[in-house]
Structure 1
């Protein structure tokens, strides 16, 4: 039976090689921007300078916040939101990967609202308070293809002192404008290209397997899965392959649409627990390591859906076809040998990881077709461990 759905995606998306130049002419939502970045690559590669020059072309001033971590934290959300208020910024630009764009969304909320960020988080120790004021407008400029956050309202932030990594979002955290320029992705190293591409893959696969999956989301999910299976190995093995980069970027944006219409399943709850305890663990790497055991456990609940995903990946239309295709894609992208132990993950904490997955993002377990228990999560972790 088909599932009713709503599709609200208000961002104006500029997609394609050279699309960054639209920042110099398209209507902007303010006159002074807080540009949120992380690491040094956007500076080293000249992307920050280009963005500031294009803003200046439109008479828009900018202030830079450059402390975002790969797993962004509440402390920096609060620090950057104070900076936005103190300097009179009236919109926020996330420039970089998912961490910068997610941070921009959360900063936009807190620049316009009282209290602390965790006051508004639902789940874990969050207070779940209503948000009284509309966030500042958000612009997303993605330099990676992994999270799809340029096309959905979601943001994931970690509260370090309690080791909680929780997703959050509502209509006010949709970007007003997003720029997806694959030319900005040509310099992403192979390993990170793979991690990001698998994150996009699992957004699409999980959105297709969730109980709220619908024909609208399924359309985007299956196309994203097909593009990733076909083009991600090319992008990993030849970063200068602009066609491959473009199709992986398009798949990533489609996966964002899937996350807007549908939702992740508990695979993301489990990984968020792992990377909350181990902040150096790249999100995509965590998903890759638990994926085979997770989907082996999940597949009996909807084998016909896994068969369709397998076919989209160019495999035999069956559960085994999907699992074999997943392993083949890992091998083709050079991420089939990842070991949990190399990221500090230890079996003695498996029960704690499982408990955290349910306490912080238990809502995703409610969207599973396969009803997993904490013991099932521990079993998945045990099968994934090396």
Structure 2
């Protein structure tokens, strides 16, 4: 038995923890605060609260507020240029996974020359080593979906080539993350569901991946259990603090799973969909393909024991077959009101699914290598076809 354990981020978890930001040892004297292009970070008062905390700590700050739900390379480059112009020596990602992911990429480019795609290893990326360490990153999450506060990964789309690719290495772990469920009380029900299923799939994929290890397994099963217990409650009543805390913890644990194990081809397939259709929320895309995806692996009989364990963790105590996980998954999607999502509502062309399957392999083909059993191009197309409506 061999495995590596490396999750170096200091995580402050729990109700009200944002108020302790000023008392932490922060990694610089001027921060670039990276937020989304939407209104919620300001209207809910989260930006003002972070600015107040930084003021109390004697840290000056600038704001970059252009990040889209699917972050794009041009905004990474623009944010990095602003960080250099403003003389920022660390980056604060405030918001959901998109803002924190973008903060990591901006931190890389604020300290390095060239183009961000020079350092990306998939697709048309140039695979160059990163010469200089990124600026330190502080993550303050206002959603429970990507687990990016506990992993080094960042996902960015190169707009002109429709490539949505993950990037990250040990230097892009946040040095400090704050997970305060109070900041998630305002997330609307449909986004709560999309984000919660994204967290769930980080753990289910990490549990099925060939490189899973005993520590990632512990985190994965606990995260699956917490999602099964509380996601539907959080969707039904966003003010349910206990449910919000459970889902927030599941999300952070899932980030650790991503750090210690890996996502599988489910994420590659969804990234291909949202690379072409930027308005498709990542979690929604994952939900759309999940039934066919997990049914495929159940039918291979290659991971029966693990799928049964996931079914039991998700709440089906009497699970005895791999398909019991699929049934439990579908029940949870129905309970969260997301079982009827349609690809066609986002402009996805059902007659041209091959291009998504091919894009998935061309841009994030590495995730196919850790699938429990090989997933062929034909399998991928069939999963997309069975998922389409």
Band the TM-score falls in, shorter-chain normalisation = over 0.9
Aligned: 1:320 with 2:323: yes
User: What does 1:125-140 correspond to in 2, within 5 Å?
Assistant: 125-140=124-139
- 1:152-191 matches, cutoff 5 A: 152-191=151-190
CA distance in structure 2 between the aligned counterparts of 1:217 and 1:326, rounded to whole angstroms: 21
Q: Which among 11, 14, 17 is matched to residue 13 of structure 1? A: 11
Could you say which residue in structure 2 is the equivalent of 1:260?
A: 259
What residue number does 2:292 align with? 293
Q: Distance in 1 between matches of 2:338 and 2:315?
A: 20
Structure 2 counterparts to residues 312-351 of structure 1, below 5 A? 312-315=313-316, 316-317=318-319, 318-351=321-354
Deviates more, 1:57-66 or 1:342-351: 342-351
| Aligned counterpart, 1:376 | 379
The equivalent residue for 1:357 is 360
- Counterpart CA distance in 2 for 1:382 and 1:175 is 38
Question: How many Å separate the matches in 2 of 1:209 and 1:116?
Answer: 35
Separation in structure 1 between the aligned mates of residue 50 and residue 310 of structure 2, nearest angstrom: 38
Structure 2: distance between partners of 1:344 and 1:66: 27
Distance in 1, Cα, partners of 2:159 & 2:219: 34
CA deviations on 1:253-301 (whole Å, 9 max, x unpaired) are 0000100000000000000000001000000000000001001112222
1:302 matched residue in structure 2: 303
Residue number among 21, 24, 31 corresponding to 1:23 in the alignment: 21
Distance 1:94 1:369 in 2: 34
Following superposition of structure 1 onto structure 2, how do residues 232-251 of structure 1 map, counting pairs within 5 Å?
232-251=231-250
Report if aligned partners of 2:213, 2:261 keep a CA contact under 8 Å in 1: yes
Residue 343 of structure 1: CA displacement? 0.9
Give per-residue Cα distances to partners, 1:31-51, cap 9 Å, x unaligned: 000000001101001100010
SS at match of 1:165: strand
SS at match of 1:161: coil
- Structure 1 stretches of 4+ with a deviation exceeding 6 A read none
Whole-angstrom CA distance in 1 between matches of 2:127 and 2:28 = 29
Q: Any gaps of 5 or more consecutive residues in structure 2?
A: none
Q: Paired residue for 1:70?
A: 69
Q: Distance in 2 between matches of 1:289 and 1:301?
A: 23
Residue 348 of structure 1 deviates from its aligned partner by 2.4
Q: Over residues 179-199 of structure 1, what are the superposed CA-to-partner deviations in whole Å (9 max), with x where a residue is unaligned?
A: 000000000000000000000
The residue aligned with 1:150 is 149
Shift, 1:347, TM fit: 1.6
Query: How many Å separate the matches in 2 of 1:314 and 1:189?
Result: 24
Q: Which secondary structure state, in structure 2, belongs to the residue aligned with residue 13 of structure 1?
A: strand
User: Per-residue displacement from partner, 1:192-240 (whole Å, max 9, x unpaired)?
Assistant: 0000000000000000000000110000000000000010000000000
State the distance in 2 between where 1:240 and 1:379 align.
40
Residues 46-77 of structure 1: CA deviation (Å, up to 9, x unaligned): 10001001100011000000000000000000
- Specify the alignment match of 1:214 in structure 2: 213
Residue segments in structure 1 that go unaligned for 5+ positions in a row: none
| Aligned residue-pair number | 384
Report the equivalent of 2:90: 91
Deviation at 1:383, TM superposition (A): 0.4
In structure 2, the residue matched to 1:366 is 369
Q: Secondary structure at 2:248's aligned position in 1?
A: helix
Contact 2:97 2:143 survives alignment (8 Å):
yes
Shift of 1:320: 2.0
CA distance in 1, matches of 2:46, 2:372: 42
TM-score, normalised relative to structure 2: 0.98
